[in-house]
Structure 1
Amino acid sequence: MINETILNQDVKLIDVHSTKTLNDDDRTQLIEKYGLTNEILDYADDENERARFEYDDISKTYLLVYNVQNENNQTTDLSQRTLPISFTIKDNQLFLFTNDATHYIKDYLLKAKQRIKTNIKDKLWEYIFNTFDQITSDFSDQISETDSIRNNIQHLIKRHHSSEKQILELANLQDLTTYLNTAINGNLGVLKQLELISSGNVQDLHLTKSAHEHLHDSMIEIEQIKNQADLSSDIIDRISNTYNNILNNRTNTTMKILTIYTIILSIPTIVSGFYGMNMKLPIADKGWSWVFSLIITIIIILVILWDLHRRDTL
């Protein structure tokens, strides 16, 4: 589905919204009516495309592929928690390529309309940079939510209330932070490439001082989020390792206790079995011989306990 929206007198938004991928009718319209190329559409329509910046010198078209979060943040497939969207700039037209899970990005562009002055230059790029800022804020919120879940798990571990559920949650958090880190690093690479190109004369991209400062601020912001995501991922890995060490220590303690019980409980069996043999034994014919066997059993148990304590195994 293709919808046109006037952002202001100089900028037109072409909202290309697909259920999953572009259909043939939309692709034909984008090529014949708007002059986009098949190559640009292939990049924009690829749901597995990495974050990138491209410029088609022949058609004078810019393409930016950027990672955003899935609107359904409860999806069980963590690999789908971050998805690519595409911005295409041709003439004074801004094309936004999204699907059902990422179409909320259009609202960010419409909100940016209220913050951008009508008399500034580089309006197209200002719309994109404002949207980038909001996307970065979304990643920051997701990382904060991840930190909150991690703190709850850490609290349960300290109170010795850990269980298999916490192990699975930690594993999910590790996977999620990996996907978030990958998406954020990809977006940072796009901004760095934009800043590098806009600062030179390699390609036809010349930003005004104001737009270039905005780009630089956006890059600093996403670098901070990247550091936050790296720290969160590192802490989760450390907690996971600590949790594994705790579980291993509990297993070792359990095995040690079972071993001690096995040794101690085997002593009465040995003594009683010895005196139960069909042969002549000292004081076996006395009425109080069973008391004697108990005394021997207790003495041997005490000696073994003393020896285990001496070796610091208790």
Structure 2
Amino acid sequence: MIKIFRTIDGGIHQVNEAQEGCWVALVNPTATELLEISEQYGIEVDDLRAPLDEEERSRIEVEDNYTLILVDIPVIEERNEKDWYVTIPMGIIVTDEMIFTVCLEDTPILGAFMDGRVRNFYTYKKTRFILQILYKNATMFLHYLRIIDKKSEVIEHKLHVSTKNRELIELLELEKSLVYFTTSLRSNEVVLEKLLKVESIKHYPEDTELLEDVIIENKQAIEMANIYSGILSGMMDAFASVISNNLNIVMKVLATITIVMSIPTMIASFYGMNVNSAGMPGASSPYGFAYVIIFSLVVTLIAAFILAKKDLF
């Protein structure tokens, strides 16, 4: 899908034909659309396809008539009826006449620009537009990181009540999301540093503060991701130890109960042997059965008392 936007009278409007100063947004474009854009604007098809590869790394490539900026953006992925967080590439291609964005999904980062919810946004100010996209991307990382932190707190409260595998798996998914975020943010940081040195991207004094804000937000997101990742890792190790300890306690109690219950079974087994009854204590007495039961009960209670003293129950 191809959408074309242009700033008209200070507002963003979707237009039908691309002109100088326009923004062309490609969302999960088809091979035909990529070929048309490539032939019409002289952009390599491989560079247009690069953001559509989920494994593509963040980088900046400077060609003769355009510059490709590839960064990772956070997206929500639904698995098992729950929302999890991953990252996908997004490409920003800057030419002398206009700017292109290529992405696999309709991301809210670009949606804010399409809806006109970003202040001081003009499609013809390409350098500022790039920085605004990168700034919005960094703030979106921070937003999702806060959501991950709140989700981890909810799961932690659940684990205090019931230590089940389901909660641990959810923590593992959150930790995976943090690993994706940390890796992507560090790659984006390299892109930001290189962006300062790229001569094909014009730098204006009025955009210096915005560029500094982008770098600060990205570094803050990296620090938050590292902190949350460390907390989640420690939490998983702690609760894994708790579950293992609880299992050991259950096994200990079951083993103790087995020992106590084996005593009357053993005594009854002796009296059930096929031997001369004259040699069995209490065999000639009409109260012999009661004697055996009482004796078994007393021995069992003594064994249970001794084991309880050793804190084996």
TM-score class normalised by the smaller sequence: 0.7 to 0.9
SS of the residue corresponding to residue 103 of structure 2 reads strand
2:256 counterpart (255, 260, 277): 260
Counterpart of 1:141 in structure 2: which amino acid?
Answer: H
Once the two structures are superposed, the pairs formed by residues 58-77 of structure 1 within 5 Å of their partners are 58-59=64-65, 61-70=66-75, 73-74=77-78
Q: Look up the match of 2:59.
A: 52
Structure 2 alignment gaps of length 5 or more: 10-18
Q: Look up the match of 1:84.
A: 89
Q: Look up the match of 2:112.
A: 107
1:112–1:131 contact (8 Å) kept in structure 2? no
Q: Deviations over 1:132-168 (max 9, x none)?
A: 222222222212111122111111222x233343233
2:127–2:202 contact (8 Å) kept in structure 1? no
- Does 2:233 correspond to 1:233? no
Q: Give the aligned length.
A: 300
- Measured in 1, the distance between the counterparts of 2:46 and 2:158 equals 52
Q: Deviations over 1:24-79 (max 9, x none)?
A: 3x3343333322234533434444321111112x32x2111122233x54356989
- Measured in 2, the distance between the counterparts of 1:23 and 1:207 equals 34
Q: Look up the match of 2:13.
A: none
Once the two structures are superposed, the pairs formed by residues 224-303 of structure 1 within 5 Å of their partners are 224-277=220-273, 278-279=275-276, 280-303=279-302
Counterpart of 1:180 in structure 2: which amino acid?
Answer: F
2:74–2:87 contact (8 Å) kept in structure 1? yes
1:44–1:65 contact (8 Å) kept in structure 2? yes
Q: CA deviation at 1:91?
A: 0.9
Would the alpha carbon gap of residues 296 and 80 (structure 1) be closer, same or farther in structure 2, given more than 3 Å must change?
closer
SS of the residue corresponding to residue 17 of structure 1 reads strand
SS of the residue corresponding to residue 230 of structure 1 reads helix
2:84–2:174 contact (8 Å) kept in structure 1? no
- Measured in 1, the distance between the counterparts of 2:53 and 2:268 equals 78
Counterpart of 2:289 in structure 1: which amino acid?
Answer: W
Q: Look up the match of 2:128.
A: 126
SS of the residue corresponding to residue 71 of structure 2 reads strand
- Measured in 1, the distance between the counterparts of 2:243 and 2:312 equals 19
Counterpart of 1:246 in structure 2: which amino acid?
Answer: V
Counterpart of 1:87 in structure 2: which amino acid?
Answer: I
Q: CA deviation at 1:307?
A: 4.0
SS of the residue corresponding to residue 114 of structure 1 reads coil
Counterpart of 2:171 in structure 1: which amino acid?
Answer: L
1:184–1:222 contact (8 Å) kept in structure 2? yes
Counterpart of 2:169 in structure 1: which amino acid?
Answer: L
91-100 or 293-302, which deviates more: 293-302
- Measured in 1, the distance between the counterparts of 2:83 and 2:183 equals 13
Q: Look up the match of 1:34.
A: 41
Q: Look up the match of 2:304.
A: 305
SS of the residue corresponding to residue 74 of structure 1 reads strand
Q: Look up the match of 1:135.
A: 137
Counterpart of 2:78 in structure 1: which amino acid?
Answer: Q
1:51–1:190 contact (8 Å) kept in structure 2? yes
SS of the residue corresponding to residue 285 of structure 1 reads coil
Counterpart of 1:271 in structure 2: which amino acid?
Answer: I
Counterpart of 2:131 in structure 1: which amino acid?
Answer: F
- Measured in 1, the distance between the counterparts of 2:165 and 2:150 equals 19
1:66–1:86 contact (8 Å) kept in structure 2? yes
Q: CA deviation at 1:263?
A: 0.6
Q: CA RMSD in A?
A: 3.1
- Measured in 1, the distance between the counterparts of 2:5 and 2:130 equals 15
Q: Look up the match of 2:24.
A: 15
Q: Compute the TM-score of the two structures, normalised by the length of structure 1.
A: 0.81
SS of the residue corresponding to residue 119 of structure 2 reads helix
Q: CA deviation at 1:255?
A: 1.0
Structure 1 alignment gaps of length 5 or more: none
Q: Compute the TM-score of the two structures, normalised by the length of structure 2.
A: 0.81
Q: CA deviation at 1:268?
A: 0.4
294-303 or 3-12, which deviates more: 3-12
